[in-house]
Structure formats: C-alpha cells, structure tokens
Chain A
Amino acid sequence: MSHTPDELGRKIREAQERQKQLFREEKDGAAEDSGISGKGFRAAADLVAAVFVGAVLGYWIDKWLDTSPWGMIIMFFMGFIAGFVNIYRYNTGQYFQVGFPQENEQKDKEEK
C-alpha cells in the first residue's frame, strides 16, 4: 500500500471528518438520556422534586406565619405547577431555561 503525500493527507482529513461527525451524533444521542425510560425517570424526578420542595416550603411558611394549613396547601400545588413547567421545558428542548424565551431569542438558539 503506497500513497502519495497528497492522497494520504486527503484520506486523513476524510477520516477526521467522519470521526467528528460520529462523535457529534453520539453526543446528540446521549443527550436524550437513555431513550424513553431515561426521559421518564427524568420527568418523574423533576416532578417529585418540585412537589416535595413546594410542600416543604409551605410547611415552613406555615410554621413561620402560623397560617396552617393554607401555606402547605397552596405551596404544594405551586410545586405541582413548577414540576409540570419543568417537564414542559424539558420536553420542548428548552432544558434549564428560566422563564420563557421570546420568539426571536429562541430562534437565535436554534440557529446556533
């Protein structure tokens, strides 16, 4: 097997390009956690975490302001909402964005 230096250079560049693409695809795939069960686990953890944190905050507020049981009830449902907001963000690919991006901002992100 003999190659001229030019040929060899071209081959190396091609291989590097392939490698890069492969690596990128792999990373994109891994970002989706592990398929559907990974997604499910993530959503479950996010929802439970938000509800739990909401309930604990409500409990503290009740203790602090002596408003039992209203603080806990309201914060529990707030936690529920926060959990669903998190899942919604995750599923629409906004990931850990805080707030809702304006239309043009989102487009910027997509272009990137």
Chain B
Amino acid sequence: MALNPLEQFVVKPLVPLQLGQMDISFTQASLFMMLGVVLATALMTLSMRTKSVVPNRWQNVSEMLYEFIAGMVHDNLGRDGRKFFPLIFTIFMVVLMGNLLGMVPYSFTYTSHIVVTATLAIGVFILMTAVGLAYHGLHFFSIFLPKGLPIFLIPLIVVIEVISYLARPFSLAVRLFVNMVAGHTLLKVFAGFNVVLFGTLLGNTLGILPLLFNVAIIGLEVLIAFIQAYVFAILTCAYLKTVIELH
C-alpha cells in the first residue's frame, strides 16, 4: 500500500459535504489550494510591511518575484501589457505555491491534478480569445490565415492553424501536470527501492544508493517547480502576445 507510487495523488475528503447530487467535500486538495493562496498573500503583504529602502530578506524575495514577472510581462507585451500583470502574477504564484508546497513531505501537490491545471489553462484560453476579439474584432480570425498563401493550400493550413490554436490550453495543462506527476512518482518509486533494498543482505550498503539518488532528484524537483511556474507564466504572456499582435 505504502509502496504504491500513485497513492500520493488520491484526493481524500477531509470534511464530507453534499450539495444535492454534487460532492463538494472539502478535500486535502482544497486545503492545500487555500494554504497556497494564504501563503502567497502573506508573503507579498507581510514582507512589504516595512517597505525599507534597503530590503530585508523577505522584502527581497517579494521584490525579486515582482520584478521577475514585471520584466517578463514587459519583454513580451511591452508597456501596454501592464494591465495583464496582476493576472500573470497571480497565475505564477498559484502554480509556484502548488509546486513548492508539493515538495514538503506528506503534503499534497494540487498542480499534479489535470483538473486544476486544465482549469487554469482554459481560463487563459478564454482570456486570450476574448482579448483578441476585443482588440481586433472579427479581424482576429485572420490569425488562422497566414499571409501570402497559395489559394489551394488555404483549407489545409487553416485547419492546421485552428488545431494548433485549440491545442494551446491542452499543451499548457498537460505540460505542468505531466512534470509534476512524473517527478513525484519518480521520488516515490526510488523511496520504494530504498525500503526493499534495506531488507536485503547487503542492505546497509546498497540501500544508501536510492537515497542518494532521491536527494539529487529532490533538488531537481525544486528547480522544476520554479521552471514550470515560469513556463506557465511565460506561455500565457506569449499567447497573449500573439493575439494582440496577430502576425
């Protein structure tokens, strides 16, 4: 049971609730999402309470996060992109907190569930379509029709472009989900090797190997937690850029 590497992803209700036919139980996923929101808010507000010119450690952290996303938004969307900053910063913090909270032992990684990542990605998809329509009106649909195309290729290319546009939220969701599931499963599998090897004759010497490997993987996982949050945010920026600039 404890050796099942996928068991960590099971959603367990903490407070069972029923609304009509719907199960709206407060699960450990809900708990960790709330924890993520509370921690992110606390980090950003409490650390900026003193607002000193020479920042202390916490203020430094929140300033770095802010400048990182602000720079990213500015590089991709230019000055006019500032109105998207709150959204992209929020997305970044939600994903980052989910990934990092998942690295705490016995915790639950809510970004390892495709329901969560797909909801975020579909939100981004609806937003970018709405922004495109708001900026360009019906001219927005020229995004599916590259310039200078031979007439007999139009049906083919338009279908391909539509598919690649519709695939955006899916690849956004799958990328985050796959990275998280793969990493956590790998950790659990090697932890299982550890337990098994300690039971063998040479356990004391051989058993140390998966442990060492796991230590390295945990380092990598923390890196991936940051990278995936970054990728999610920068892809959101880049997608918004394509619909704002069109070609």
Contact = CB atoms under 8 A, between A and B. Distances in A.
B174 A53 contact: no
Contacts of B71: 27
B139 to A, nearest CB: 14
A86 B242 CA distance: 14
Given A30-B230, A98-B143, A48 B174 contact: yes
A49 B170 contact: yes
Interface in A10-54: 27, 30-31, 33-34, 38, 41-42, 44-46, 48-50, 52-54
Contacts of B246: 98
Contacts of A100: 146
A51 B234 CA distance: 23
A52 B170 contact: yes
A99 interface: yes
B167 A82 contact: yes
A34 B147 contact: no
Nearest to A45: B175
B163 A79 contact: yes
Nearest to A46: B171
A61 to B, nearest CB: 11
A81 B165 CA distance: 13
B163 A82 contact: yes
Interface residues of B, number: 37
B146 A54 contact: no
A49 B174 contact: yes
Given A33-B227, A34-B223, A45-B175, A98 B167 contact: no
B74 to A, nearest CB: 12
Contacts of A31: 234
Interface string B156-183: 0101110111111011001100110000
B239 interface: yes
24 contacts: A27-B71, A34-B224, A41-B175, A42-B175, A48-B174, A49-B168, A49-B171, A54-B163, A57-B163, A75-B163, A78-B160, A82-B160, A82-B163, A82-B167, A83-B167, A86-B167, A96-B242, A97-B242, A98-B144, A98-B161, A98-B246, A99-B146, A99-B149, A100-B146
- Nearest 5 A/B pairs, CB to CB: A99-B146, A49-B171, A49-B170, A82-B163, A45-B175
Given A75-B159, A96-B235, A99-B149, 20 more contacts: A33-B227, A38-B227, A42-B175, A42-B231, A49-B167, A49-B168, A49-B171, A50-B163, A50-B164, A50-B167, A52-B167, A52-B170, A53-B166, A53-B167, A78-B160, A83-B164, A83-B167, A86-B164, A98-B143, A98-B242
